[in-house]
Amino acid sequence: MRLPAKQASKERGMALLLVLVAVMALALIVVGLYESSQASWEESSLSRARYQAGLLAESGLSIALHPQIKPGAVALKQNFGTDRGFEVIITSEGGRLPVNELTEERMRETAVELFILWGLDAAVASRAADSITDWIDDDSDPLPNGAENGYYAGLGYPQFPSNAAFTSLEQLLFVAGMDAVERVEPFWRDYFTIHSDGLIDLNEAPKELIAALTRTTEDAALKFVAVRAGDDGIAGTEDDYRFTDSGEVQALLGLSDGEWTALSSFVTLSGTVKRIESTGQIGEFRETRVILAEEITEGRNTVLTPLARFRK
């Protein structure tokens, strides 16, 4: 039995419409798969670039850990083509304030002066420094501007302070007053350490820390750092000047004999803990690896013993 022409035409139209809908749906699926695969491919490419940059950074660390390599050596900066390579900077961890030494009054006063240079008023600066000391000392008696268990318990943290040395700089964020420090200097972590030999290396410390520690003028500290950087004015290069004579340091900083005597037991001109930062680059991607290593002399040989490593 044949369908009427009008009905047959209508059914053919419906079939064509269904075909068109199916084709459009298939097209959308194909486009979606394409875009998804493109995103996955791009993500995979980024991951490979970062991974390769990390490998280059590790290569730089391997070279820098050789005891005969000196800061600024040519081998510490290598390029492979126009868009890949690594650069290593070797400094001393002694260029940072050893936070676990703030039980020493001179170190605590240095922290106060540093905070003031960053823009805090004296009372807030003293609050942060005294609270750091209260965190690590072994008693429960707060310093005049510090904070012990009673303060933290009132905030709902009865487990604080730990009355033990800091094992991470991030722990400082729990210390009373450090929120104010972070507001004026978000990069405060670059000025503190938990891994140095406990002394401040005047051949590495930034001008703010030198001024805070020595109580010299900011101009004198700036001049000292400029001399240290050598003719090119760039720290960490081969022409850097290394102070070896404490008398020269004292004269350049404008310190009296009494001032230097009071300071001398807290400083060094050759820190034993090296900070090695290696940055690998692939195109626009960079990966940085850091190793802190203690320099130990055994007889006539010098070896570097890693203490910590992390990504930056």
The pLDDT averaged over each successive group of 10 residues in the chain (312 residues) is: 54 58 54 50 70 93 88 91 92 96 97 98 98 96 96 95 95 97 97 96 97 96 95 85 96 97 96 95 94 87 88 87
Helix (H) or strand (E) holding 263: helix 257-263
**Structural domains present in the chain:** 55-93+273-311 (no CATH), 99-186 (1.10.40.60)
Distance of alpha carbon 240 from alpha carbon 65, whole angstroms? 20
Q: Which residues of 51-69 are buried (b: 16+ CB within 10 A; e: fewer)?
A: ebbbebbebbbebbbeeeb
- What is the model's pLDDT at position 88? 95
CA distances from 268 to 116, 172, 183, 201, 271 (A): 24, 25, 31, 5, 6
- What is the model's pLDDT at position 154? 95
Phi, psi of 273 (to 5 degrees): -105, 115
Mean pLDDT in the chain? 88
pLDDT tens for each residue of 150-189: 999 999 999 999 999 999 999 999 999 999 999 999 999 9
Phi, psi of 37 (to 5 degrees): -70, -35
Which pair of tokens denotes residue 145? 């501007």
- What is the model's pLDDT at position 237? 80
Q: Of 116, 119, 132, 135, give the one whose Cα is nearest residue 183.
A: 119
